[in-house]
Amino acid sequence: MRALRTATTGMSAQQMNVEVISNNIANMNTIGFKKQRAEFQDLLYQNVERMGAQSSDAGTVVPTGIQVGSGVKTGSVYRIMEDGSATQTGNDYDVMIQGKGYFQIQLPSGETAYTRAGNFSLDDQGRLVTTDGYLVQPSITIPQGTTGVSISKAGEVSVTTAGVTAPTVVGQLQLATFANPAGLDAQGDNLFLESGASGAPNVSTPGDTGFGTLLQGYTESSNVDAVSEITALIVAQRAYEMNSKVITTADEMLQTTSQLARA
């Protein structure tokens, strides 16, 4: 009974769909999180009667034929890159990207990771770091005795100190963009790595053509919408139930056939 195997693939696909949706919902409050969506593809078809085949000696051909599908599979899980809303934090070291771009983060391994989460702080040496203590690149150090920090839309970091009227520039934040940001390799901890699908990073100053600007004292919230996720969850649940019903029906048909054979 082909329907058993076909419905099984449908249940597996909807299980993956629910897993993706559940991850979105779990990260509703994750800074800079980008929601994902599962896409599906139909599986191979069996040609019971091939279209275009000759159907008589007179040269007539089969117009449509008979093709029976074998189910569905998960084609991809893609990331939706639309911006999240701005959340004011009041922290001078929190920075939100308005538009395209990623902050560059130096991992302990020496690799460069990328993130949209701009909830930064200072380490024991006054360097700008992530919540895990990873250095923001290019490295920026805030001097001791600083009374105020200003980060411009173009990423210029200035500090003021007691007794000094004019602010002092101590660093310049830069952003990286990718030809296909959805192809970045997610590592967890709000970090991504370059991949063959994302392409090489293009690094420049915030505000340049194709790059977003920065907003100090804010972070980017998750772009997950609770209503759309719950709606998608209900649709996935109903699809799972219908595939389950197909399996039950196919089993009943097999049972009836078995009873006829015994009779």
Tell whether 144 and 213 lie within a shared domain: yes
Same-domain pairing of 77 and 116: no
Cα→Cα distances 135→109, 131, 241, Å? 12, 10, 48
Instruction: Determine the structural domain holding residue 33 and report its residue range.
Output: 2-81+224-262
* Mean pLDDT across the chain: 92
Instruction: For 80-97, give one letter per residue: b (16+ CB within 10 A) or e.
Output: eeebbeebebebbbbbbb
Per residue in 55-75, pLDDT tens?
A: 777 778 888 778 888 899 999
Listed range (44-53, 70-79, 110-119) with the worst mean pLDDT = 44-53
| One domain, residues 102 and 195 | yes
Sequence-ordered list of residues with C-beta below 8 angstroms from that of 217, at least 6 positions apart, any chain: 88, 89, 90, 91, 92, 94
Give the DSSP H/E element, type plus range, for residue 244: helix 226-262
| Cβ atoms of residues 172 and 203 within 8 Å | no
Q: Are residues 186 and 257 in the same domain?
A: no
Domain match, 67 and 169 both = no
Q: Is the domain of 152 the same as that of 77? A: no
Q: What is the pLDDT of residues 91-106, one digit of tens each?
A: 999 999 999 999 999 9
Instruction: Please tell me the predicted confidence (pLDDT) of residue 52.
Output: 78
pLDDT at 49 over 90: no
How wide is the angle at C-alpha 127 spanned by C-alphas 125 and 130, nearest 5°? 120
The count of structural domains within the chain is: 2
Q: Report residue 135 as tokens.
A: 């250095």
Token code pair at residue 254:
């097999």
Query: Do both 72 and 176 map to the same domain?
Result: no
The DSSP code for 263 is -
Q: How confident is the model at residue 200 (pLDDT cuts 50, 70, 90)?
A: very high
